[in-house]
Structure 1
Amino acid sequence: MEDSCTDVVSTISVLLESGKYREALSIPTDNKFMQSFKDNCTDLISEVISKIQDDTAVTKPSLQSACEELLSIIIQRATPEEALLELIEQVEVSKNDAQFSIILNPLQQVLKKLTIKRGRSLEWCLNSISTYIESIPIPEHQLEGKERLLMDCDPNVRRITKVYSQLPQFYHPFIKEITGPEVNVRAKQIIVAFLISLLGKPLIYIDLDPEENATSELRQCCAIMVQDICKIEKDILKFLIYLELCSKKKQKQARNSNYDSEEEPTPYQQHEKLNMTTLSGLFYTVFSGHFDIPDSALPQVYSTEYIIHTGAQLKNMIKKMCHLPHGAESDLMELGDQIISCLNFLRYLALKDINNVTGIRDCFGFLESEYLAKLRIGLNMSKAHYEVKLRDIEEGKDQPEELAKVSINIAGNMLDNIPADKKKEIIQSALNGFHMMEGLVARLTECINVNKMQGLTMESLRNGHRLVRPLAAASVPDVVRPMRLYSSQGGKVPDGIPSIETRAPGASSESEKEDQQYEEDVKARILEKALGFVGASGWSVEALGAGAEAAGYPGVSHGLFPNGGADLVHYFNVKCNEDLVSQMKSWPKEDLTESKVPTKFVENAIVTRLQMLEPYKASWPKAMAIQALPSNVPNCLATLLSLVDDICYHSGDRSVDFNWYIRRVGLAGIYKAAELFYLTDSSAGNSGTRAFVAARIRDAQLIQTAMNMNPVSVAPQTLTAAFVTAKNILGINTLK
């Protein structure tokens, strides 16, 4: 047996040293060595690991790969317990970091096989890893200021960084196991104690300054470990107790007495893991403000912002609150106050908790199936019962007196002979209570559906694009102001000309602006796609839903547009106005004088804008009706005034007097009249519409000439009042 051991081990060793890696990998499948290979796995582990040096991955990558594959095969063939002990020993005697690194993956695979004895085996493995890490020398350069940046050049710092960066990948699978439904308390304490010990020596001597080393790999590893500790232990402040114990002078004697007792100390009681150094590192990360700590990991019992009931706790609380003792047959009159309070509370959570911070969205299934469904049945039964009683009382005059009697027992005392009017009053009060509950149930159901839609939209955007705030809760963007700054159109604003800002006042932070811009981009993509469905579905919510699906979003994303088809019409008008501006910039300009108006330019602009309606000519009357609704008038006027302002400006209008108002009000009237004519025009090339527009422009010129020759004081006031009224409707009542 010894000869076979020497034979297979020496054969693989010689093959690896001579560079014959393929032959070495074929040994496990060779019938000659198969049994010997299985019997001598522990010796092979140490032999393969010994071939790895610090520079092997660079100078001999094939050897590195061959050794990794051999170790994987050995772990599959070996007895898990024997392989575990050998790997633990190899961790402690590792001669370099490369050997330590190559052991971690096989060690993890062996631990996964030992499901029954996982706790003790995991503790041995983590202890050996801690022993190796503590053996790394501590840098002692005493650098200050910017000199601390030189610390990254220290070989020991690079070693620490390399070793720490490999640890999360090793222990993360075991964290997932202990955070499941069946929690092993000791396994949880073993991992947490190990992570806290990592925050001590040597990490505590490394510069983790958030300003100078904000992106360092070691700082990121530290942040991951802190997050993992918070994930396992919900209350980080519980370790303050152990910090106090470590600070006492008699702590050593107390610890010895614990070890002398029959009870085995818990991982948290082991001074090698939790001591002043390691706990100092932990609470530096917690209280320094240099690391992100989840709010749930820092209970603040004296803070009004601390939420106790969230997640599973909230669900348990709701189950206790929303309890009908006898299901649908419960006495709803007796439980009335409790039911109304619960419904109001749930409605508040469904309305306010858009981001599911409390976990209320996870309770909707229980509420709908176990509470609201039974409550609806109970309300229907109770209303029917009380209505029958009320009808019996109203018809009681024709019944025998003994059949119409109602008696009440209060604390053993009978109250007989209640007057009929009083009986009706009691029953009416009960029916009013039932109607109130019914209304609250309907409102709560509506709020639950809205909250679900918001969650679906948010999840879709998170998975398909990037995380943004809930779009379903976002309002339609501020109405775009009709007048743009002349400076943004390539010119200067003449004195006396009103220039209106394009956005409502009030600056926001850069992050909010980025989120808002991204939301607008998402909406624009949906609206652009929705235009392709107007022919089939019209200017409706159905077109928006189809557009959302075509853009890669769920159909319920039409909830982003509370005005429905009106938002689609407004988007189309704004888009057409922008296209017209792009075209007008390339048209030849005509000189504008007091006696000459660029009629041809204005005519072409109006006709071009009307021709943009051609693909939607059949459905445009409905769009006009939608725009005429009171809630949509501001958007309609905004796009109309923006259109006429752009046409006047690009045609060369630089007037600063009363003509500025006359031209814009007159042009708005011409365009709306031409729009109605265009919808009924069946002439070739829309020649009839062009002739109509030309005639209306000539009429406007004659009116303006007459007004200039015979000034009428009332006319300027009237037109100015009309223009100001339009601005007031839009919320623009300040001239700048």
Structure 2
Amino acid sequence: MQEQEMEVDMADAVEASNLLQLIKQLLLEKAYDGVRMLFESAQESERNTRLLPHIAMHLYHDVCSENLSDEVNSQEPELFDCSDELLKLLAKFAPLQELMLELMERLEESSSLNVFGAHLRALQVVLQRQGRDKPQAVEWSLQSVFTRLRELPLPKYLSEGYDEAQARLIEQNEQVEDLLAHYITVGLFRQPLCSEILQHDVRAPSQTFKDCGLNRRNIFTCFFIQLLGRPLALLEMSHVKEDLTRTYVQQVTESLSQDASQCLGDPFYLLNLVEQRARWQRKLDAAKGVYEMSCRNVFLIEEKLPLHAVAMYYHSLFVGNQLPPNAPRIYAPLFLFESIVYLSEVLLKQQEPPLQYCGLRLVEHLLSTLGNPVLSSSLQLDVHKRFCEALCKIVGYSPQVALRQLGLHVLRQYVLVFDDQGKYLILKNLLETLQHDGLMGYLGGMYKDLVDKALEESGPLPEVYSGKLFREMLLLCVCVLPHDVKSDLLLHADRLCHALNILRYFAVRDKKDVTGFWQALPDIVRRLLDPLGKALNFSMAHYKAYKERVEKGQSASDDELMQRQLNMLAVNITNSGMAGGDGDSRLPDIGRQEKLEVLASSITSLETLQSLYLIASEKLEQSACLRRKAAQSDS
């Protein structure tokens, strides 16, 4: 019996070898239909298919690997197509692990969409054969697919940031078209696999808790979400306000989001894990290269599920309106808001403006869903501090004008969503820690508006808008001369203008001292108004004298204060940096005419500031007189 089996095996091996030679000969003769007939005709198909396991890898190396190239595709497209069909066929019979390794290598090295697609179709067959066995191998295969997408060339402006006009033409770029074509090809690859997973990889009735270990369903879930991150996230155009037709980017994003949601079951499930990853520091096991407990939960590992990709998934759900109709409704808006703040902070800290846009849009959407004010107790979460720091960095220093404007809008909405105590704590913390004068002036004006609104309402003022807390905040808002008389007034001009307007406002608005403004005024006069008056006179005289020296052609290199200011303003003129940078750095000297223009602009700014100073001082004096008269009449 054993001898008979050996004879059969030998006979099959001989027939298989003959079949391999026949296929090669037919390809050499360009008889591609003849090759197809070997596996499609009723007479030949059954016998030849039975022989494929013996020659599958030989067929791959000798035929498919050599012919699935760009050169063959351009010169002999029929040979390429025939080799493509053979590869998909032999994928059903070749040794799984051996062919899988070959396909992974070729996928990562694919030089074009055609070569990528051919090997991806074969990998689809291999993974269907693999089933739920060896999930690690499945993960490696999917990672090779993502590696190829990540390494595709893209225009630089995607990472540097682009405006609305560029966004409308983004899909017409050749490299972007190629990337989207690869994503669409991956979509065709994953569809039958996803359907099979949803049908067969289901939780057993006896299983109470979700299995978060390394299994096929979780691996594909991570893969879908990972695909929503870079590079696809760089193409996100949600910041374009005008209506657009449904773009390929939207179609790809929606499809991936839907697949991920279906595999997760509960689309909000990852939010609990986001807090674990972003808030709690887990121990790193250096030997294993993973964090504590992450071996039991694939969703806790950054390499498998990058947080920025998770953020883009929830951006698609909320901003892109891709939340499934059957999504649970039990989650409180406050929980969703606090969880999303973690993800928004992750996006705001990315280098690419498109991802920063998504972070702003994501938190903007969640802010709009909150019905009741958020209690100040929520600020005990450290993420609020980190979020504000990242947000203010964008508002103050982003080179993208539209991004700064949106960031300022989100910052205002974020502050206003809290109760009075929360608003006060946020503004006070920012004013104590920020270094950007324009933004600090804006926040001071925002506090003034909050006090104004509270004054209009009946009843006693909230504690944060009067008395000791008001005094502390007011001094932060208006006392902005860090170096007393020697302070650089032009460097702090924006905030000083806001401060003087705040003083003028309260002098007129609060004559009865409901807030405690007049009790704080002596400190303000001592710490701001008196030294500011002297600094204005000193700076005005200094700049005018410097201007005269420049007009006469005299060197002023010995005047470090003037040179520093000239350097700072020259930066703006030459667009070589941002104003308010390192004041001690020396820039190349600019021409005499340019110097005069810079100095004239500086003197104009000082005159404006001096005018506001005089108006505020006059209003304070007038209001003080009225208060004294009112006090005398009452007595």
**Structure with more relative contact order (C-alpha pairs < 8 Å, separation 6 or more):** 2
Return the index of the structure with the highest Cα Rg: 1
* TM-score above 0.5, yes or no: no
TM bucket (normalised to shorter chain) is 0.3 to 0.5
What is the TM-score when the length of structure 2 is the normalising length?
A: 0.41
